[in-house]
Structure 1
Amino acid sequence: MTNPRLVCLGNLTIDDVVLPDGTERPGCTGGDALYACLAARLFEPRTEMVAPVGCDWPASTSAQIRAAGLSETGLSSRNIPSLHNRVAYDADGGRVWTLYNGDDAFHTLSPTIADIPASYLDAEIVLILAMTLDAQIDLVAGLKDRPNRLIALDMQEDYICGNEERLRRMIGDCDIFMPSADEAQQLLGHTDWQAAAREFAGLGPSIVVLKLGAEGVLVHERATDRMFRTPPFPGSVVDTTGAGDSFCGGFLAALLQDRCDLEQAACAGAVAAAFAVSDYGADPMFRAEPQEAMQRLRTWQGNP
């Protein structure tokens, strides 16, 4: 295969989905690495993922991943069961997660530098998605000194309390920081988003993207002090799982096409996220097509 331009580092999961009417969909494929990678490939086909899987990883899921055009080179095997969740949805769109694996398994199934194939190390952008804090710190430390590469960082809100200084140091070693509103508020203690973006940029990242859910995103470029908002792409919202991961993938893939066009990147991220929320689980990301994504992007921007 051709060496990827964008690599998404994260987790893969097996999700048992329970719909509001009680219908169950066991064994669905999920995980932040998958959402981000499929979203990115809508705009940059040279995108791959690195995500360890357990000893019981289903052959049918591997076949689904291959059918989507993704390589399994970065899916190293661990000698423990795969991450497995139960996700029960209610009629109002809420959901309850039951995690069958503990924190130790979550860490063991998070990627390390050793899991990254040699051909992936020359990628122009590496996206480090939510996983355990120690795993993220090790990845950032192992990748930060490689020339001509951007490191993009997403966060995991569960580890923030008590680790604020460690997080600030890690953020300072990244080029693009992409937290959610909840994560930013926990870390900084306020909801002045413009001030938050500048605070994060002051730590080191050249680009800060605050993901604000239904309010869209706020993007800040440190070098020019440019700040702008992009709303969500219009459409129905069924399940918000994976929306932030998909936004990150779409944003970074579009940024590879034009490093100066942050507005285009933000719109591409919004389009990718809209696919993710249009149905339950990762199914809509497997169905999404690059041609449709580009048409939605052009029409939304007034260029049909």
Structure 2
Amino acid sequence: MDSIAFASFGSVVLDEIRFPNQKPLTNVLGGSGAYATLGARLFLPSPLSRSLAWSIHVGNDFPDAIAEHLQSWDVNLAIDKESDGPSTRGLLEYQDTTFGPKNFKYTTPVLAVQESKLQGTALLASKVYHYLASPQDMETHVLNTLALREKEGITDRPLIIWEPAPLSCKPENLEACLETTGLVDVFSPNHLELAAFFGHRHPVASDRSEIERLGSKFLDSGVGPEGKGAVVIRAGENGCFVQSRNISSRWLPPFYEADIGEEQAAKVVDATGAGNAFLGGYAIGYLQRRGNIIEAARYGSVAASFALEQVGMPEKSDEGDEELWNGASVLRRLHEYRARQELLQ
């Protein structure tokens, strides 16, 4: 089988985005799978990009232009198209024109990738898997995928990254969530999802002590085989909190920090998908930096910065032998981000 670094089981969604008193945007590519794959793709320029396996499940209305755009990423892409049903579509409504408060809902049934269709495919040999799922579904996904790998003679354990489905983050699912984290290697809610498991309705991303306290409950319960996994809490403009039993816990700032200056702050357009992109970048950082979860989170923070700069996906271009995204070098941005933190130490 091909050597595959990363595969996401997240969704691909065609969004309609509405602002007050403006013409809506339609067929905007989104979804956790699309943004997570973007985050990984940023750090794997072609031809390394072909180590990304991406199986997407779409409907008969999936635009050819978007399919061609995804093909231009030069990844190991397989499109499973329904002949008699629509693609997964969502409605994202902003309450004002500043990309602030928003509401989201699916307007068609969600088309998921079925593990049963992965047998004999390159995706089954991936080093890392990313999922967005409820605790109950996550347990099923992991057990099914590992069983399929074993059947194919793939004995290495993949790194499994789980972000909980937002609607499943509620107190009645806390116990199931604590049990399911034992099956995964990285548990990564955002601060809102983390708080929702404990019934907190108005969490504050800047309340670091509370985020640390709640995150520790999952770590103490056990994340991953032998409790060696990590909890990575994404806290928006306050960065992320990384903790495991093997390292000292640590906060990392976002790439675009509020106090860096107006010019950088102006580049933050829309936070949609930034958390998913973070986890795709985290996965590649984990592989390239030999399991260093702090370095992995740095990759994730840089990946998120590219998702923030526009509605939808950033634009890829080439400058000589180097790929650019939104006209910027991904590796130069990573070096800048790392150097900025070293100055503070």
Q: Tell me if both proteins adopt one fold, taking TM over 0.5 as the criterion.
A: yes
Secondary structure of 2:164 counterpart: coil
Verify: 1:37 aligned to 2:46, yes or no: no
Amino-acid identity (%): 24
Tell me how many residue pairs correspond in the alignment.
294
Please list, as runs of the form range in 1=range in 2, the aligned pairs for 1:157-236 lying within 5 A after superposition. Answer: 157-161=166-170, 162-189=172-199, 192-202=210-220, 203-205=222-224, 206-224=229-247, 226-234=248-256, 235=264, 236=267
1:297 aligns with 2:303: no
| Partner residue in 1 for 2:106 | 99
Q: Write the mapping of 1:1-304 to structure 2, written as runs, cut at 5 A.
A: 2-19=2-19, 22-44=22-44, 45=49, 46-73=51-78, 75-78=79-82, 79-89=84-94, 90-94=96-100, 95-101=102-108, 105-106=109-110, 109-116=111-118, 118-128=121-131, 130-131=132-133, 134-144=136-146, 147-161=156-170, 162-189=172-199, 192-202=210-220, 203-205=222-224, 206-224=229-247, 226-234=248-256, 235=264, 236-282=267-313, 284=314, 289=324, 292-302=329-339
Distance 1:220 1:72, change over 3 A: same
Partner of 2:179: helix, strand, or coil?
helix
* Larger Rg belongs to: 2
Q: Which amino acid aligns with 2:272?
A: T
State the Cα distance separating 1:179 from its structure 2 match: 0.9
Q: Give unpaired runs (5+ residues) of structure 1.
A: none
Residues 50/171 of structure 1: CA separation in 2 closer, same or farther (3 Å cut):
farther
> In the alignment, is the contact (CA less than 8 A) between 1:210 and 1:219 conserved in 2?
yes
C-alpha contact 1:13 1:84 (8 A) present in aligned 2: yes
Tell me, in whole angstroms, the C-alpha distance in 1 between the residues paired with 2:138 and 2:244: 23
SS of 2:250's partner is strand
- Is the 1:180–1:212 contact (alpha carbons within 8 Å) kept by the matching residues of 2? yes
Return closer, same or farther for 1:112/1:168 CA change in 2, 3 Å cut-off. Answer: farther
- Does the CA-based 8 Å contact 1:218-1:228 persist in structure 2? yes
Q: 1:57 to 1:137 in 2, by over 3 A?
A: farther
- More relative contact order in 1 or in 2 (CA 8 Å, sep 6+)? 1
For residues 44-72 of structure 1, give each alpha carbon's deviation from its aligned partner in whole angstroms, at most 9, with x where no partner exists.
Answer: 33223233212322222211110121333
Residue type of the partner of 2:223?
G
| C-alpha separation in 2, matches of 1:285 and 1:227 | 35
**Per the alignment, in what secondary structure is the counterpart of residue 61 of structure 2?**
coil
What TM-score do the two structures reach when normalised by structure 2? 0.77
Deviation at 1:24, TM superposition (A): 3.3
Provide the TM-score with structure 1 as the length reference: 0.87
Q: One-letter code of the match for 1:228? A: R
Instruction: Call closer, same or farther: CA 1:168–1:77 in 2, change over 3 Å.
Output: farther
Query: What is the rounded CA distance, in whole Å, between the counterparts of 1:257 and 1:268 in structure 2?
Result: 10
Q: Secondary structure at the match of 1:121?
A: helix
Q: Deviations over 1:258-278 (max 9, x none)?
A: 134222211111111111111
Distance 1:143 1:196 in 2: 29
Task: Tell me if the contact between 2:169 and 2:194 (Cα under 8 Å) persists in the aligned partners.
Answer: no
The 1-side partners of 2:21 and 2:291 are apart by 46
Cα displacement (A) at 1:99: 2.9
Q: Give per-residue Cα distances to partners, 1:207-243, cap 9 Å, x unaligned.
A: 110111111000012234x201111102332111001
C-alpha deviation, 1:119, in angstroms:
1.6
Give SS of 2:249's match: strand
C-alpha root-mean-square deviation of aligned residues, in Å?
Answer: 2.5
CA offsets, 1:149-177, max 9 Å, x none? 11111111212333222222222111111
Contact 1:152–1:174 (CA under 8 A) maintained in structure 2: yes
